[in-house]
Amino acid sequence: METAKNMDRGSFLWRFSKNFNFAADKLIPESFVFALILTAIVFVLAFFLTSSGPMAIISAWYGGLWSMIAFAFQMTIMVVLTSMAAKSPQMEKILSSIASAPKSAVGAYVILIVFATVASWINWAFGTILSPVLAMYLSKNIKRVHFPLMIAAGYACMVMVQPICPSISAVALLASPDHFMIDELGVMPVSETAFNPLGLIMVGILFLVTLFVTIKTTPPEKEVISFEGEINLTKEGEEEPNETIADKMNNSRIALGVFSLIGLIYIVYHFATGNGLSLNFIIFIFLIADLILYKTPKKFVDAVKHNMVLAANVMIQFPFYGGIMGVMAKTGLTGVLANGLIVMASETTIYWASYVSASIVNLFVPSQGGQWIVQGPILVEAAKAFDAHMPSIVTAFMLGDEATNLIQPLYIIPALALVDIELKKVWGFMAFIWFMWFVATSIGLIVLPMIL
């Protein structure tokens, strides 16, 4: 039972989480500096653990810088378009209505976590972008919710659910009839990887852990941080005068109306022909939504300019992560790190070792497909040596690959930009959730394979 004195200091989990937040306040710099520090660490590790010389490492870094350019642009335009949609007067009414449903902090956390989990299972980008938007409105409605914790919890749900998503990189790759390890593994259908019982049970456990931790991490009232920004920053101004032909074109609703209709027709066609959600298609959905919401070319362009500043961190940081991945791949450092952990495994700990090795490598190679290409052969060789269940090895790899996305901030950068919050305000809660996951997953990956 919590004493009155302790409740004045928050719940036990709140007090425990403050250890991680203290570290974040003192040690975690701006997210761009975080990327630079990771780059420096990779340079040092590559120099001492591989045979690559300084120029080879620098060349690998330079080559990798440009490998993320397309992805950086995708994420940049997604931040701008989703921010425009979230801050439109029409969307404010819809999300305000949803956010008005809960009447307590617990209800707000439950709605956010369920929403983020379902949205992220449909597609990771939906969960990453839409959950902080909903968190803004919930924070405005329920003053007892801690906004940085909500951002971390929503992002954690995106990370958590990926190993059971049929569209995740490793799952899609292994289900392909021409993947690079077809001779060793054959085709591994989604039912064996994404819907592997071990993965389903572990994700269910992590969902309950996340829900429990979020609800029970209760701050004292004086330490609650609410979202204080203005959500609807994109105000609809007065209609511009149509004095010239140029004015009439700028303020015409016909142009955007026509292209909105074309876009809606294609969206219906896309789903009707059995296609799914890709990152490009999600961006396209938001583009069409914004054309509809802003009605005229001038209002649309003004909103783009207004929200472009939010994408600055994404544009500059993603190439640096590409540089990190280039060094890891070209110097062979990925294999060195992964193999060093796997050789210490045993028949009992092989799944846990796969999880830990994937977690560590993911800190520097935050791309599951790229990581599997390098680390997959090492894991398969180790699994055969211990006669391990191969789909469960893949599941352990995916759990580990996703877990440390709570430590390195690449994929949360767009969400932070969208709600204009510093990394250090959220990172402590992300690390706290990761720690709770690590304990639960470590126990699960040692005990469950002996039962299933």
Per-residue model confidence as pLDDT tens digits over 53-65: 999 999 999 999 9
| Cβ–Cβ under 8 Å, residues 142 and 106 | no
Please give the mean pLDDT across all residues of the chain.
88
For residue 371, what pLDDT band results from cuts at 50, 70 and 90?
confident
What is the average pLDDT across 258-270? 96
* 426: pLDDT strictly greater than 60: yes
For residue 239, what pLDDT band results from cuts at 50, 70 and 90?
low
Could you tell me the CA-to-CA distances from 165 to 21, 27, 111, 162 in Å, in that order?
A: 31, 34, 21, 5
Query: Whole-prediction pTM value?
Result: 0.84
Per-residue model confidence as pLDDT tens digits over 72-131: 888 889 888 988 887 788 877 888 888 889 999 999 999 999 999 998 998 787 788 889
For residue 92, the model assigns a pLDDT of: 75
Find where tokens 């990172």 sit.
427
Q: How far apart are CA 39 and CA 27, in angstroms?
A: 17
What is the average pLDDT across 397-420? 90
Q: How far apart are CA 224 and CA 262, in angstroms?
A: 46
